[in-house]
Amino acid sequence: MHTTTESRRHRSPADRVGWTVRLAAGLLLAGLLTACGGDSDDGEGATSSPSTSPTSSTSSAEVAAADLDAAALDATSYASTSVEGHDLVPGSSVEVTFDGDTMSAYAGCNTLFGPFEVDGSMLAWSGPPAATMMMCEPELMDQDQWLSDLLTTGVTATQADGALTWEADGVVIELASAPSEDLDSLLGATWTVLGTVSDGAVSRLPVDTRRPRLDVAADGLSRVFTGCRSGRTTVRVDGASLAFANTSVQQGRCTGAAGKTEREVLALLDGTADNVELHDSLLVVTKGGRGLFFQVR
């Protein structure tokens, strides 16, 4: 079990509160787990017997590992090439992205994300991670839980030659450098709002509210439905972010739940987003701690 020191903690500043969204009731991922101490190595292996030598009996996780450089992880993405000690759901993989103070991970269903910390060679979330709320097959949701537990407890991580290796509790995951999701794929698609992000909490839309939607053309010109009124906006891919401009809606007045949802939509469709996270068909966009999560088709 590792302990953290304040000087090595890699924490999220206030302007990244949109990443630390909490799960709705019933889908909150597990909190901190008690890490199990590894078997001790007495270091008394006989040199005449390979089976008792330190080289053969000591795993690389037990050998003193070089400190992990948190700064070197920034703006990098990795995907698993092999997993030992755990059977992944067929056709799935483990993916991880580091963006400033945020680590997001994906194992085939929901995106898990939150601020992380580095303590020597140990890598872990600095608190219970948050997640999106897509319903998947039970095997994939169990795999989400497994990955959440693994990174909450912490892994011994080594980084070399564009690759990342995680080791913990008999599990060894080899990850190779991978490009981030191509945000250009969002152009020419329909984005349907599933819920809102506000003050660090994710909320589904009220049941009596029509779902807001963006029909985004290949050139970024988009039709908007706010859940109450129709309009237009322009979407532009700006590096690893999205920028919205020239948003306008029909005249009229929206009240109640529809009016509240429309305000959330229009607030996001004004300027450049602070954070954008895309995994398969799920898109999370936040700005100033508020935002929306969409299903993209």
d(CA 250, CA 264): 16
Of 155 and 100, the one with more pLDDT: 155
Say if residue 83's pLDDT is above 80: yes
Q: For the chain, give the percent of residues with pLDDT over 70.
A: 76
Average pLDDT over residues 181-198: 90
Residue in 90, 129, 128 with CA at minimum distance from that of residue 108:
90
Q: Greatest CA span in the chain, whole angstroms?
A: 86
Going by pLDDT thresholds of 50, 70 and 90, the confidence category of residue 48 is very low
Average pLDDT over residues 231-259: 94
Q: What is the pTM of this model?
A: 0.56
Say if residue 265's pLDDT is above 60: yes
The contacts found for 179-184 with CB under 8 angstroms, 24 or more apart, are 179/77, 180/77, 180/97, 180/240, 181/278, 181/279, 183/237, 183/240, 183/241, 183/242, 183/276, 183/278, 184/237
Say if residue 86's pLDDT is above 70: yes
- The reported pLDDT for the residue numbered 125 is 94
Cβ atoms within 10 Å, residue 122:
22
CATH class in words for 183-296? mainly beta
Average pLDDT over residues 139-165: 95
Say if residue 183's pLDDT is above 80: yes
Mean of all residue pLDDT scores within the chain:
79
d(CA 106, CA 279): 8
- The reported pLDDT for the residue numbered 81 is 96
Q: Of the ranges 14-18, 266-270, 285-289, which one carries the lowest mean pLDDT score? A: 14-18
Q: Is 180 helix (H, G, I), strand (E, B) or coil?
A: coil
- The reported pLDDT for the residue numbered 94 is 96
Report phi then psi at 262, rounded to 5: -60, -40
Q: How far is CA 261 from CA 31, 70, 117, 182, in A?
A: 31, 38, 35, 28
Going by pLDDT thresholds of 50, 70 and 90, the confidence category of residue 281 is confident
Q: Which helix (H) or strand (E) holds 145?
A: helix 138-153
d(CA 71, CA 231): 42
∠ Cα 241 266 287 (to 5°): 35
Say if residue 43's pLDDT is above 50: no
Could you report the per-residue pLDDT of 210-233, keeping only the tens digit for each?
999 999 999 999 999 999 999 999
- The reported pLDDT for the residue numbered 65 is 58
Of 83 and 278, the one with more pLDDT: 83
- The reported pLDDT for the residue numbered 61 is 41
Could you report the per-residue pLDDT of 103-128, keeping only the tens digit for each?
989 999 888 888 899 999 999 999 88
Question: E-assigned strands of the chain?
Answer: 76-84, 95-99, 102-106, 111-119, 122-125, 130-131, 155-160, 163-168, 171-177, 190-198, 201-204, 213-216, 221-225, 230-238, 241-249, 271-272, 275-279, 282-287, 290-296
Q: Is 147 helix (H, G, I), strand (E, B) or coil?
A: helix
Q: Would you say the CATH fold of 183-296 matches that of 6-37+53-177?
A: yes
Going by pLDDT thresholds of 50, 70 and 90, the confidence category of residue 42 is very low
CA 267 to chain centre: 23
Say if residue 144's pLDDT is above 90: yes
- The reported pLDDT for the residue numbered 63 is 41
Going by pLDDT thresholds of 50, 70 and 90, the confidence category of residue 31 is very low
d(CA 193, CA 184): 19
d(CA 127, CA 254): 39
Average pLDDT over residues 130-154: 91
Say if residue 296's pLDDT is above 60: yes
* Amino acid letter, 205: L
Please state the domain extents for the chain: 6-37+53-177, 183-296
The answer to whether 283 and 277 are in contact (CB under 8 A) is: yes
d(CA 284, CA 259): 21
Say if residue 137's pLDDT is above 60: yes
Read off the tokens for 227.
């859940």
Token look-up 């985004």 returns 216
Topology at the third CATH level for domain 6-37+53-177: Lipocalin (2.40.128)
Say if residue 14's pLDDT is above 60: no
**How many helices, marked H, and strands, marked E, lie in the chain?**
4, 19
